[in-house]
Amino acid sequence: MKIELYGSSQKDAALVQQEWNGDGLTGPQTALFASNDMTLQCERDGFHLYYLGYRTSAFVTNEDARKTAPEFARQVLNRMLSQISE
pTM of the model: 0.88
Contact 32, 12 (CB under 8 A): yes
Residue type, 39: T
What distance in Å separates the CA atoms of residue 85 and residue 59, rounded to the nearest whole number? 33
pLDDT of 8 above 90: no
pLDDT averaged over the chain? 92
pLDDT digits (tens, 9 = 90+) for 54-65: 999 999 999 999
Strand 54-55 to 36-43 pairing? unpaired
> What is the predicted pLDDT for the residue at 24?
64
